[in-house]
């Protein structure tokens, strides 16, 4: 796994040593010798991870980390602080500034590369979601809000971790759920809601690494943050767990402030990823939805119909046009016309089968696509739609305005193209309007001969 690593240290010898180690593992490396230089390099070069010395003159590592986390372009870049400081308070201070982990000098190579691999996996997932979200925003989507810093209501699953070791989390309003064994923990993780799992190393009566591996192998749980609580002698197992997908760790005896800081970082990242996913879903929904009526749009319904026909599924097209819509628009204005279109859309939506797709095809024209429907079903649905629109007038100001629709239906099976089916339904619709409107016409052989309705 290759990536861009920015190394920040005011001692040239330290820079060169880390550069040599990283390049030997085929990472791309950039060097910075001060805080301001690091911020400029990060903005210009877009690193995947920053290895950051704490003790630097002028702007120290804590301030560099805070500033990186405040900038939209760099706030999601993992930061690993490298320091000779051993005090617990300094570790907590760095985590609270946004650092993802601490490594002590001299840096242990196995620990360094295990942490880099774990952080890069998370970064790649976030980058993929951010890229999709940016694409959706270019298509008119709304950018996601920043995730809430309030952790109250979050749920943490404890597996093999005594509640007293996690007691500090309760101060943040986090709910703790203890599982008796691996199977119960697995069921809780699947059933949810679960925002993070705390896993003990070693796991009494169980295999922690196998459980971690299973968590990452299932699509329902693979994004669940996994934080390890380990004994000092379990460091080698922690490194193996990182390769299997663990997110972070804390060593015993557990410091409450450190655990809370690491937990906040993991939950913040999880919430941001969830927000990106929701934003993408919403943007995709908007891309296939007509903004006026809330129905599917022309792009979606044509693709849906094409997929049905290509799969060999028999499908019907019901083409619908609002009668005398231009006169309504001219007399009452476009705002009234919009009200009429929304009302027609609502009545159509309420009178189709659950499996049918209703779309606004353009202007005052609508389309219903029916899969696996026989001639009797098509005729019954079309007549029900006609009657539902004609059943009650629309109130515009003090006037009651009659609404009616004309419908043309066509049925197609394997080998029929979308254009041919829609053209036949459109030709049938033309005949319905020519015959007096407010009626249903089924396509006949003449409609299939290629006749098209006029614009």
Torsion-angle region of residue 46: left (phi > 0), alpha (psi -120 to 50) or beta?
A: left
Active site residue 364: yes
**Bond before 165 cis per omega within 30 degrees:** no
> Which residues have a Cβ under 8 Å from the Cβ of 415 and sit 6 or more positions away?
none
Cα–Cα distance for residue pair 313/320, rounded to 1 Å: 22
- Can you read off the two tokens belonging to residue 239? 């490194």
Torsions phi, psi for 34 (to 5 deg): -155, 170
Query: Where do we find the tokens 């230089």?
Result: 37
Would you give the DSSP letter of residue 414?
T
Torsion-angle region of residue 181: left (phi > 0), alpha (psi -120 to 50) or beta?
A: beta
Q: What contacts 24+ positions apart, CB below 8 Å, involve 37-44? A: 37/8, 38/6, 38/8, 38/64, 39/64, 39/67, 39/68, 41/6, 42/6, 42/68, 42/73, 42/74, 42/77, 43/71, 43/73, 43/74
- Can you read off the two tokens belonging to residue 393? 């007038």
DSSP assignments along 17-64, one per residue = HHHHHHHHTT-EEEEESSHHHHHHHHHHH--SEEEEES--SSS-HHHH
Tell me if 405 sits within 8 A of 318, measured CB to CB.
no
Tell me if 426 sits within 8 A of 362, measured CB to CB.
no
Q: Which of 87, 364, 372, 376 is the catalytic position?
A: 364
Cα–Cα distance for residue pair 361/281, rounded to 1 Å: 23
Tell me if 368 sits within 8 A of 318, measured CB to CB.
yes
> Which residues have a Cβ under 8 Å from the Cβ of 384 and sit 6 or more positions away?
351
CB atoms within 10 A of CB 79: 26
Enumerate the active-site residues: 364
């Amino acid at each position: 796994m290759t990536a861009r690593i920015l190394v920040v240290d005011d001692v040239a010898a330290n820079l060169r040593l880390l550069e040599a180690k990283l390049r030997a593992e085929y990472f791309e490396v950039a060097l910075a010798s001060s805080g301001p230089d690091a911020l400029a390099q990060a903005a210009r070069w877009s690193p995947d991870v920053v290895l950051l010395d704490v003790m630097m003159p002028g702007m120290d590592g804590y301030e560099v980390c805070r500033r990186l986390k405040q900038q939209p372009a760099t706030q999601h870049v993992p930061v690993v602080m490298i320091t000779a400081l051993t005090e617990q308070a300094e570790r907590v201070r760095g985590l609270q500034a946004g650092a993802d982990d601490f490594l002590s000098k001299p840096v242990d190579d196995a620990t360094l590369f295990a942490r880099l691999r774990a952080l890069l996996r998370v970064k790649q997932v976030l980058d993929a979601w951010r890229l999709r979200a940016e694409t959706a925003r270019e298509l008119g989507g709304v950018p996601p809000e920043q995730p809430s810093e309030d952790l109250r209501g979050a749920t943490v699953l404890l597996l093999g971790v005594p509640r007293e070791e996690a007691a500090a989390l309760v101060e943040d309003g986090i709910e703790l759920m203890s599982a008796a064994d691996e199977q119960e923990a697995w069921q809780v993780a699947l059933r949810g809601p679960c925002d993070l799992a705390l896993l003990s190393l070693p796991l009494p009566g169980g295999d922690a690494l196998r459980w971690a591996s299973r968590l990452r192998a299932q699509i329902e749980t693979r994004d669940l943050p996994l934080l390890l609580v380990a004994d000092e002698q379990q460091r080698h197992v922690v490194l193996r767990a990182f390769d299997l997908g663990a997110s972070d760790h804390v060593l015993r005896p557990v410091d409450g402030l450190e655990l809370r800081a690491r937990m906040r970082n993991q939950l913040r990242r999880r919430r941001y990823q969830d927000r990106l996913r929701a934003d993408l879903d919403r943007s995709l929904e908007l891309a296939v939805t007509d903004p006026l009526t809330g129905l599917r749009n022309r792009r979606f319904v044509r693709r849906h119909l094409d997929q049905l026909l290509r799969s060999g599924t028999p499908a019907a097209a019901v083409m619908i046009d609002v009668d005398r819509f231009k006169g309504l628009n001219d007399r009452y204005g476009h705002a009234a016309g919009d009200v009429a279109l929304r009302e027609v859309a609502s009545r159509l939506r309420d009178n189709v089968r659950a499996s049918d797709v209703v779309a606004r095809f353009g202007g005052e024209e609508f389309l219903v696509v029916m899969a696996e429907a026989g001639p009797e079903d098509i005729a019954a649905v079309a007549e029900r739609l006609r009657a539902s629109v004609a059943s009650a007038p629309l109130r515009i100001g003090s006037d009651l305005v009659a609404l009616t629709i004309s419908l043309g239906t066509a049925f197609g099976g394997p080998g029929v193209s979308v254009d041919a089916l829609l053209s036949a339904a459109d030709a049938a619709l033309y005949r319905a309007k020519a015959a007096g409107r407010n009626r249903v016409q089924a396509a006949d052989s003449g409609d299939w001969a290629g006749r098209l309705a006029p614009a």
